Amino acid sequence: MNWDQVKGEWKVMKGKAQSKWGELTNDELDEAAGEREQLEGLIQKRYGKTKEEAKAEVDSWLSE
């Protein structure tokens, strides 16, 4: 799945993101609105990950 598909189906993908990163709130995911950089930033902030780690997690999530 590419990121354009994620953005187009964000309401569905938001639930999947919350399943993967349970500490992210609905409000935070709504704020991200399908923007990859914002999602990665939330993961960095909430989980104390580096930019590279957050990017790798999102890449892995996309391939699931």
pTM above the 0.85 mark? yes
| Tokens (6 digits) for 10 | 């964000």
Reported as a single tens digit per residue, the pLDDT across 8-20 is 999 999 999 999 9
Kind and range of the H or E run holding 43: helix 36-47
Q: What is the rounded distance in angstroms from the CA atom of residue 5 to the CA atom of residue 44?
A: 23
| Tokens (6 digits) for 33 | 């609105």
Q: What is the rounded distance in angstroms from the CA atom of residue 64 to the CA atom of residue 60?
A: 7
Reported as a single tens digit per residue, the pLDDT across 3-61 is 899 999 999 999 999 999 999 999 999 999 999 999 999 999 999 999 999 999 999 99
